[in-house]
Amino acid sequence: MPPTLTPLHAIQNVRLPGKDATWDINFSPDSPGIITSITPHLNPNTNEHAPLALPALTHPHIHLDKAFIHNSPDYAHLLPSTGSFAEALSFTTGAKRLFTRDDLLRRGEWLLAGSVAAGVTAMRAFVEVDHTVDLTCLEAGIALKEEWKEACVVQIVSFAQDPLFSTDHGEENRRLMEEAVRQPQVDVIGTTPYVEATAEAAKQNIEWAVETALECNKHVDFHLDYNLDAGKEALVWFVLRTLKKKGWTVHSTDKRVMLGHCTRLTLFSGEEWELLSKEIRDNNIPVSFVGLPTSDMYMASPSSKGNDRPRGTLQILEMINKHGLDAVIGINNVGNAFTPWGSEDPLSLACLGVGIYQAGTTANAELLYECVSTRARAAIGLSSSEAGLTWTQGGRADILLFYDVDDTGCHVSRPRHGVAGVVWDPPAKTSREVVVAGRLKAASCSLCPKSAYRFA
């Protein structure tokens, strides 16, 4: 069940990124959940064990209905045997035939509870709609969204993993999606153009999603270009042409476009990257890219059967720093055939990014933290486009605190210094406490002291 949240007047004596000494973050009962001021802490002699306060974490792309399939005995016969993408599609379809509302609620709660404990206060959650599951996953997702709304903003994606314009079930899948996306609890339309039988059907899929999203005033989110085949057309260009044709700009709507996976783009030349960046920038298209490294590196490989099997995932930091693109990273899947490894903790993904992107500087660590926190929240349309890790008066009080505590049982606590410290070696969940809209989540243990809090 969702955690208990206790209102706060202030968080006192905390360390802030890029600032000396310690600070107090203050809230007002007249503006619940909003930071009213940030003031120097008056007792400088108490800062030795002060927690580090950072923005809370965000899942910009995570599948709610497929989480932890491998943790449920009902699906024990569907554990990977080859680890291939085709097998993952097949086994997941088999698992979906067994989905029940109770099962979906149970596994979804596992994901939400673990995510909130890690410090996640917002997520874009995909739930599938098709002829196999009908609206069952969507109904469970909406129920979880409502039940957990105080602890975590759950942005629901009505998601078509299956074809909409090809195969025997395309028409039925599209009819179900048409019904689903018009529900007010659905925030995003999501599709997977690459599963269509032909390139023409994939383009129909894209056009339908863009037109329907504009009609219904929803965000749109594509699983796109998930291959490493230089011989295949990169559909990102068709997406951009369609958005331009339909007049989707930052000036015409506050809704955003997310492009996920896009491993085909790792084969782009420098000139192609520059053209892509220019096309988005010059036409004011609100596009973000989300790299999903734990899935991409596990799944995306060339079709060649040779020994040389490079893996592809978007080079997120280069996209931001070199090409000026809006890009973030996400967990995607937890505990299923698409991604049998990794956890629901976004900070572990930021840590992985240090190695993937060969990003060992403190500046890179801070950027990686943004990619699973402030940048991720903005990319899914839940805050302004301004990134960074600094606090401002009037901002939403979603705060993650990191304490130096003994989580070893050996009476030893090891400090993490600054943002880089928590990215390079993420502290255990027992070392974290999360404040959601100015309210403290009940701690899972007694390791973290309460001296930092002034309760309402």
Whether 305 has a pLDDT exceeding 60, the answer reads: no
What backbone phi and psi angles, to 5 degrees, belong to 244?
-65, -45
In tens, the pLDDT along 117-154 reads 999 999 999 999 999 999 999 999 999 999 999 999 99
Contact of 27 with 10, CB cutoff 8 Å? yes
Residue 258 CB neighbour total at 10 angstroms: 27
Mean pLDDT of 365-374: 97
In tens, the pLDDT along 79-100 reads 988 888 888 888 888 999 999 9
In tens, the pLDDT along 6-28 reads 999 999 999 999 888 899 999 98
Check for a shared fold between 5-54+395-441 and 57-380: no
Q: What is the pTM of this model?
A: 0.95
Given this model, what pLDDT does residue 453 score? 82
Enumerate the domain spans of the chain: 5-54+395-441, 57-380
CATH number for the region 57-380 comes to 3.20.20.140
In tens, the pLDDT along 393-440 reads 888 999 999 999 888 889 898 888 899 999 999 999 999 999 999 999
Given this model, what pLDDT does residue 301 score? 54
Mean pLDDT of 47-63: 92
Could you tell me the CA-to-CA distances from 295 to 40, 87, 135, 220, 368 in Å, in that order?
Answer: 43, 14, 26, 21, 18
Nearest to 124 by CA among 199, 216, 266, 222: 222
CATH superfamily of 5-54+395-441: Urease, subunit C, domain 1 (2.30.40.10)
- Both tokens of 63, joined, read 């599948």
